[in-house]
Structure 1
Amino acid sequence: MMAGIPVYRSLWTVIEASQAGLWQRFTRKQLFSSVSALAPAALFPQTAIAQQIYPVLGSVTSVDMAGYALVGGALSAALVSALWLLRQRNRLESESQDLRSALSDTQQKISRYQAFIADKNRRIVIWDGHTGKPEFLGQLPPETGAPQADVDFLAFGRWLKPHSAAEVDKSIEALRTDARSFDLVVETLRGEVIEVQGRLSGGRAFAHFLALNNLRAELAELKIERNRLRNSIANFESLLNSIEQPVWQRDSEGRLTWVNQAYCEAAEANSSEQVIGEGREILPTLARQKIKATATAESPFHDTVSTAVRGARTFFDVVDVRSPAGSCGMAVDVSSAEGLREELLRTLKSHAETLDHLATPVAIFDGDRRLQFYNQAFCQMWELDQKFLDSRPDHSELLDKLRAAHKLPEELSWKSWKENTLSVYRSIETQTDIWHLPDGQTLRVIASAHPQGGATWVFENLTEQVSLETRYNTLLRVQGETIDHLSEGVAVFGPDGRIQLSNPAFRALWGVTEEQTAVGTHIRLIEAACTPSYDRADGWKAFGSMITSFEDERPSRQGTLELFSGLVLDYAVTPLPNAQTMLTFVNMTDSVRAERALKEKNDALRKADELKNDFVQHVSYELRSPLTNIIGFTDLLKTPSTGTLTERQAEYVDHISTSSAVLLTIVNDILDLATVDAGIMQLDYSEIDLSDLLDDVSMQMTDRLQEGGVTLEIAASSQLGHLIADRQRLKQILIKILTNAVNFAPEGSTVAMKCWREGSDFVFSVSDAGCGISPDVLATVFDRFSTNSRGGKRSGPGLGLSIVQSFVNLHHGKVSIESTPGNGTTVNCRIPSAAAPHLIVAAE
């Protein structure tokens, strides 16, 4: 049993191969190996079987023998089948060889066909059925603009002209769905001509794209152009037949060759053939002769012709164009337009007369932006020459002329401003702008575009209105700001007793909030809010009665209120127009307190004034008298009659005499200032000889000049004349100014005094070459007890210049000092002459 298994398996392999039909893949070696395994058993059955069966025969039963018999029968059948299969395989190999030869021939033909198809002048697209993907063969030349990629080729709209792309798409769809062949000539976007053919073959759809050359391309282009011209002519004839204007075409002899439907209706014919056959004309003979004589190819005839159509007089706007083959023309019925033109002319004339009498400047420009109309107000406002306006200038030219005359607003970018101004001609909306002219005028410029072209410009002078509005708005703002910043409380009530206005001062005085005094609040509510501050009968109850009174005459009222908080208010109730009432409250608390303090201070000042007068009188007597005695006794000691003094005693006496004189001068100065301050200084006016006065002053300054080592130069005219003044006070003025100059003048220098007359005034100046006065000290030189000992030979109490200023002011004169540090000082003084000798009491 085990030895027969390989034979069985080999046979089974052959059977499976035969059943599966795989003889083509079953090799000769496999087949013969299987048969050789079966051959010994088939050719020599007894020997083979005996050699394998006999050794085990002793152990085989009847059942085993039956199995062996079946196996033997199967092996015999397999051997017969193998012999039949060998014969079949030989036949198949012969047929396969024939098929290979046919396949080789077919592939060679396909290669030749592909080489033919792969020409760069054609491309084939193949569709297998309705849903099959397209296959592509060949390429079109790149200059045609056809895409090289298969994906982009079928997007015909990207490389064919729109009408060609639509036609190809439609034809291919009809080929694939309805099996309709087609032949087309299409154009690419680059202007190249391509022939497209659609065919069906073997259930497949073929689209051949062929780039044409030479004569075929020219023929295709002519065919395209012919179709285009036919379509255009048909479209134009359809269009001309649909319009209401008569249109005609004539040959070179002037005979009608084509007319539209409107011409037939105007000629009262049923068809164009009838018109052409009968030669019906809608234009008169003279008009036709004029057209024939004047119309040329370069200059078409264009004029208005009067004729009769359907028994009515009609005006046609005729255009006739001449060509070598004949002419064509068109007539537009302008009968209604002629009537409207006449009516428009009458209307425009009426409007022009109306606009010419307006005070508002108006200008109308036509579609070419040229001045068509202007009124007198326009001419007067811009001050333009009428001849220039009558020349119909361009709007841009007019603006440039006005700008050159400085009559337009000053703009940083003139070009952009002008373009924006003239943009109304491109707009359908009315434009409004404000012009601020250099002469101060303000114009509202209204520009309205016309539907037929052009624009109307209206210039409204807003100068007075803007000025009034500005003043009014300014007044309101100032009034509001003024009322809000007033320290007085203000409240305005209407006739219904409701508050209309109040300022912060009003709310602060009465201690109420802004919500409690909001506009529209009734006076009763305000009265309740103000009651904690003042609830007497002469308060808000009286105010409410006055405000809501129905009396025709409402008198004003004033008074004073003293609130519980201690505030003292002066109030005033003032009637206003429109039955309104204004309440004002002035805080007089500080004034009342100041008044009381002033009264107390006034009483104290009166007492102080009395004490001052008593002091002046007391000092005048008690202080000056001992000094006079000291000076007198000092002078007496110097006389030889009292005895001889030693040198030291004489020196001491001189010191006493000098100190006493200085002290007497200081006392006199203090008394003089006190007298001036007290208002009791009296000037003793008399007629003074100025030359004698200057001599007296120079003599009195001799000792002081020698002591300081300074020279005095007086430059004065011998004709100074006389002056009405207080001689003693004027002398004091001169001496104190000279003394101050000598004190600061360097030794060996000169003090210059210049005197002259200006009218009735006596003017003099004193200059020294001292160290000068710094600006900070110069501002206080006339202050009392202001001393500047730097650079001076001797220091004093600082009363000299103060007394000078007081005496000069008493004479109604002026005194000033000019000084620069290091360059000396100059004192200028002016003393006016009084009208006549009289007494003047210094004002307090």
Structure 2
Amino acid sequence: MPGEYPLPAGQAVSGGHQDSQMARSSGRWQTMRRLGGRAAVVLLGATALCAPFGFAHAQQAAVASLPVSTAEVIQLAMFVGVMGAALISAIALIREKGRIGAENAELRGRVADLNASLQRSEALLNLRDQRVIVWANENKKPELVGSLPLETGAPDDRAAFLGFGRWLMPRSAAALENAIAALRDKGTAFELIAETHANAALEVHGRKSGAHVIVRFVSISEAQRGQARLKLENQRLSAEYETLIGLMDAIDMPFWMRDGDGRLKWVNKAFAKAVEAVDSSAAIRDGKEFLGTQSREAIAQQHQLRPLFQQTLSTVIDGDRKMFAVTDIVGKEGSAGIAADMSAAEAIREEYSLVVRSHADTLDQVATAVATFDAGQKLRFYNNAFQKLWDLDAGYISSAPDNALLLDRLRSERKLPEQQEWRRWKENLLSAYRAVDPQEHLWHLPDGRTIRVVANPQPKGGVTWVFENLTERIDLESRYTTAVRVQGETLDNLAEGVVVFGPDGRIRLFNPAFGQLWGVSPEALRQSTHISAIRAECDTRADKSPWGDFVSAVTGFDERSDRHGQTELKNGSVLQHAVIHLPNGQVMLTFVDVTDSVNVERALKDKNEALRRADQIKNEFVQHVSYELRSPLTNIIGFTELLSLPGTGPLSPRQREYVEHIGSSSGVLLTIVNDILDLATVDAGIMQLDISEVHVDRAIEAAAELVADRLEEHSIKLAIEVKSAPKSFNGDETRVRQILYNLLSNAVNYAPAASTITLACRQLAEGVEFSVHDDGPGMPPEVLDTMFQRFESRVNGGRKRGAGLGLSIVKSFVELHGGSVRIDSGKDRGTTVICLFPDVPAGVRVAAE
């Protein structure tokens, strides 16, 4: 203890001050010893010095007084020497004693100072605001000095105090144990803040001085306590920060932190991997961003309104666009964010939503009413059939009503079956929420409906109710029974023969008409009769019996396909039969007597063949006459032109008029003959188109010149619209001019006097379109259907009746080009004939007549 060893304790506590004082005291004792030695030497020296002096003095005395003997002189000299030495020694001793007394007084003062310093050190060590642990090399057992306040929670007991984990926080105890071990083994000094279980902070200092290891616990002041708390908080925050950073670096979600300027200052490994960087430092150094510019701008704009940003954004990772749930929060010194990959979750969620929506849509289309109640007996789903079945308003049914309350409401509205004990019936019904297996009930409603109710318990405690309306089913079963009887009666009275064979080839059903048509005896027509027996009896009644095919269709393994045919019996009857495969594997044969219809059909075919041959003869006659007329017409036209020449001789006005009429009539007749020949060429399929570049303006101008006289005769104007027309297109220019001439001639024939005919051409995506419009009386619908037929000539308000070949020629020539012709006409809105030529002509092909 310090009381038992004051000097070591003082040295341990105060340091080097006492050591210096002890050194000075030791020096003074040594000085005193040296001074004593010196006095003896001086005394001896004085004696030695005084001996000659005494001897000389004795000689002088002897000379002065002769009676003195030599012995006396020697004695006197020795006495004088001894007295001188004694005197000198006395003087030296007196001086040394004074010096030693002064030094002793000084030493006593210093010892008093040391005792006071020791008492002060012991008083300081024994204060209740610090405690010291001292380890000495020769004594491994530590010594404890001082004590700590009770409010710190530090125990006074030695063993309890040295067990740091009992009264210090685990983190502080572990840090202190490690620091003391390093201090004792390596002499590493430390200073740390320890936190007790009583939430008190202690300053702990560790030092190694000479042979002692000292650890001091100090209870700090309030200001220091606040600083200590801040240190502890800093230590805790640093540890938590390192833990969080480690966690953020370990998770497989990109995480980033930015400084106040928005630059990246830390990213985790997942971020670096997502941006294809070598490591986190490379990602920060290169400024690689996980989100796109637009997404970062959206985050910055959101931060201006509020610090937290939460939204699902898309970005490209490894070449694939993925969805991430981004959470970014901004603080005073920067921001931090994390992105969770929601691609798989979004896909699953979307698929789940689609499945739920699909199931809901499917159930809405089902006629069976379905309703699902959760574990709290609240309605969570219903389909349209459920709402229609109970006739519930949408507002009430959408409010998630309770199952029991819904039953009470249906009962009050008299929609549920009447029960003698309603409460027990309802409790029995709602016991489905506690059941394991489905329950089934049959309700007969007051309105006459029959409902099959199935309560299917759900794994999470709910129940799905299925309400199947059996009213129609029961009604259908009744109707089916009635229909079967009616069908039997109907089949028995049908004129059509019907027989049904099963998969085994035996009769399942037949009617009397079948036996009558084939002459089968009643004994053979039984439900157990095999088809081979029927075939044996029917084969003899037909010239070409179809019963071999019937047997194959009934008993064979060929493809089950329906067939139809016709058979003529030896008695002259004609039966039309049908082989129909039924869904249940049976085969039905039907037979209809069509003898009268066949006879009529044969007569009609003979008549049609006669008409076709007559039409062919007519066409051949017209073609022959056309060829035969062409040569005489050419001669007539030639002689008429010859008579008109001045060199032939003068003609009277009447004769000249007759010649002009003969020429014009011959020209019209020649045109008709040429048209007939062209149509004959088209019909023969030998007409060839001379495809070349057709100039639109030139073709229109040529056609207009041909009808200029007729336009002038009736004061009709021709308006040409070619603003949207192409300069040229590919086609047969001669036939195009002929088409336009026929269209204009037809328009002139029907246009009123002093009116305007419009010829337009424009370029369309499908090709080049020509249209000719006149303000004539128009064509009724029944006339439009026959306008393209040959020799169909109708005046219909026109000036003269033609041969009826103009539009036929137009249609044939346009279709030879691969185009089409249509007429837009109506009463009091004139007629427009529209011809469409393709950009690429179809070439030489046969025109449809």
Q: TM-score range with shorter-chain normalisation? A: 0.3 to 0.5
TM-score, scaled relative to structure 2 = 0.41
TM-score, scaled relative to structure 1 = 0.41
